[in-house]
Structure 1
């Protein structure tokens, strides 16, 4: 049987016949497998790279060869991912170094509000995953027609498994429903914004919390208050919000404005991170900004385009992605800036 050769790139080839399989370049062999002697020889440079020891006299009874698929080979892809990772690490350092304006509080609180299934809990899980270095699922998520989240949760996030808590908290709430008596009760929102609702409070759609509740916080301080509200929407459902839901959102926004709290919008479940960011990873593509979903948020809530943020949560899969991290960390930075504006106004008052 004649030798068959597969060229991997300009320097590396795979050759095989009935007696031998080898991977080599024009000047050296990396791996040779002899089928007759059942021996495998690995070059020293490859041993060091793979951290294995190979005895050429020791026979191998089995050998498996895998073809790795899914690695993009278009021009510039590896370079783009490398630059994305560098930018992601720069954003990570910025978030870690954040300190609230004028040291009025040591930690800021960001409230996640949005329709059922919009990705509020998934956003918290995604943020935590970035700082843990692996995917986490602390907050329960699901796709039920009713809200999976039934408690008010105030989540702190640690920098690493045993690291210090970062200077921000994400407050997860029950999902909004267009029907009255279902989902988060609008009358609960002023109490949440003022810091009167404790962690793990059990929501009741028909019965809002009152000062008579045994865990009601009667004299909340500035650190207990909400400093920024992030309205969370599934970008794929943004064009189909019902009139009832839009009316409820405007009602909620009035309460937020009355409390003087900063506001941003967070659009989740984008289809492709590559199509969102420009090549420099600093801004969204103009085509993305002009999409109807973003324009609708601007019209409904009056939130400036610079504070309408787009992310892709870690809702599925097992691996971390620097492009997803860039969108999530960039969203956090914009939330921090909104909070600083809010705190600066308090300082002036």
Structure 2
């Protein structure tokens, strides 16, 4: 699911979240244009318990929907409401105890194959497809109509805070998960994660920090630094081992030339996509005047799934995010759109979080309760063009000479989310074969843990 792009814009999401009774985040569960316009599929995405938002995007440009605060099996929900979104605001129509206004007096129901928000919005099956009836709630016109729609989306509403196990035991569990992790897609031997970001974003430092956590001490490697143009010039892959000299885990972190402001500086779009698709050879020396092509030494004309990149990670510096240039923003958004078309999951690593908030500097466990950092995360999401729930804050090891338990937990948690994003995506796009189904299942300890990548629970 991580590669499915929501139609809900960041501005619309911000307005909608203000209507909810408490701080929350939205996790996309269903998208009609991706999963099929089928009511059975839509209804199957509802859990027995939880809070949900249904949104319909009409050809007219109208965006309407409804919020459910209780189980989808309950017919009465006094906290439910319908809404309509325009570019400026969200119009809110709550449930009322009386019937003074037809537009606001409704109950919610999931019976007879329908999702109904009383007199405001109804989704049902006709000719095996989703049909929509909408009462013009904005102008209180007392008639139903069957407008043509572009898409239907279902979101789970989750808590706005991510809970992490801030204990030594929690760190041990996260580390064990990484060591024992096996991709759910049996075609994958390992997960290759590509880190992309501008100079000084912390790509190489993240790799160094993850390896430090696994080795039990801060590693001092020569490629870590603050050069204005970045140190890494080649495609370099780092197997993450369980310990120094130990067996490699299923995770490989890949570093490349830093992104620049536009195509003439730094990693180009052409080369980035060549790496992601598996054409680029290990150790390739990036040169803007010599893009990767069939004549490139070591070029892979027919890369296997294990040569490809399985997750794209945008690495951004929290200290610099508010002043991101228009050129870099365009570069990031273009990359994001191209990668989305490849059905590859994407996340954002927001680094240097301890340098933007004093409380986090004292202890990184305050990372999800910092208002300042929440604003930085929102900006990072906006810059790349992904939902804020895809932004993972981390603190890399830079000046420290010893490890910190909570810093380790934050780093390992980010790795955990990345691996789950890969499993979620490749399990959907590459279903197991008959032979795979009979094979030993992946580590239950890892896969039974709740995912925090796309929902703040």
TM norm structure 2: 0.55
Match of 1:174 in 2: 257
Alignment of 1:277 with 2:365, yes or no, is: yes
Alignment of 1:331 with 2:414, yes or no, is: yes
- Partner of 1:297, secondary structure, is helix
1:341 pairs, out of 424, 427, 449, with 424
Match of 2:287 in 1: 204
Alignment of 1:125 with 2:213, yes or no, is: no
| Cα-to-partner distance string for 1:11-38 (whole Å, 9 max, x where unaligned) | xxxxxxxxxxxxxxxxxxxxxxxxxxxx
Match of 1:260 in 2: 343
**Matched residues in 1 for 2:222 and 2:278: separation?**
21
Match of 1:107 in 2: 190
Q: 1:287 to 1:237 in 2, by over 3 A?
A: same
Q: Would you say the 8 A contact 2:381–2:390 is kept in 1?
A: no
Match of 1:304 in 2: 387
Instruction: Write 1 or 2 for the structure with the bigger share of helix.
Output: 1
| Cα-to-partner distance string for 1:19-76 (whole Å, 9 max, x where unaligned) | xxxxxxxxxxxxxxxxxxxxxxxxxxxxxxxxxxxxxxxxxxxxxxxxxxxxxxxxxx
Q: 1:275 to 1:118 in 2, by over 3 A?
A: same
> Aligned ranges for residues 227-266 of structure 1 at < 5 Å?
227-266=310-349
Match of 2:225 in 1: 142
| Cα-to-partner distance string for 1:108-162 (whole Å, 9 max, x where unaligned) | 0000001111000000000111111111234602212112110110111211122
Greater alpha carbon shift after TM alignment, 163-172 vs 91-100: 91-100
Gaps of 5+ in 2: 1-164, 355-359, 433-457
**Matched residues in 2 for 1:338 and 1:303: separation?**
14
**Matched residues in 2 for 1:195 and 1:289: separation?**
39
- Partner of 2:370, secondary structure, is helix
Q: 1:245 to 1:348 in 2, by over 3 A?
A: same
**Matched residues in 1 for 2:244 and 2:321: separation?**
36
Q: Would you say the 8 A contact 1:178–1:245 is kept in 2?
A: yes
Deviation at 1:180, TM superposition (A): 3.8
Q: Would you say the 8 A contact 2:363–2:406 is kept in 1?
A: no
Q: Provide the aligned length of Structure 1 versus Structure 2.
A: 263
**Matched residues in 2 for 1:220 and 1:274: separation?**
46
Deviation at 1:210, TM superposition (A): 0.7
TM norm structure 1: 0.71
Q: 1:83 to 1:170 in 2, by over 3 A?
A: closer
**Matched residues in 1 for 2:363 and 2:327: separation?**
32
**Matched residues in 2 for 1:133 and 1:290: separation?**
28
Match of 1:48 in 2: none
- Partner of 2:430, secondary structure, is helix
Alignment of 1:294 with 2:377, yes or no, is: yes
Match of 2:302 in 1: 219
Moved >4 Å (runs of 4+): 273-276
Deviation at 1:177, TM superposition (A): 1.2
**Matched residues in 1 for 2:350 and 2:385: separation?**
15
**Matched residues in 2 for 1:147 and 1:99: separation?**
33
Gaps of 5+ in 1: 1-81, 279-283
> Aligned ranges for residues 40-51 of structure 1 at < 5 Å?
none
Alignment of 1:158 with 2:241, yes or no, is: yes
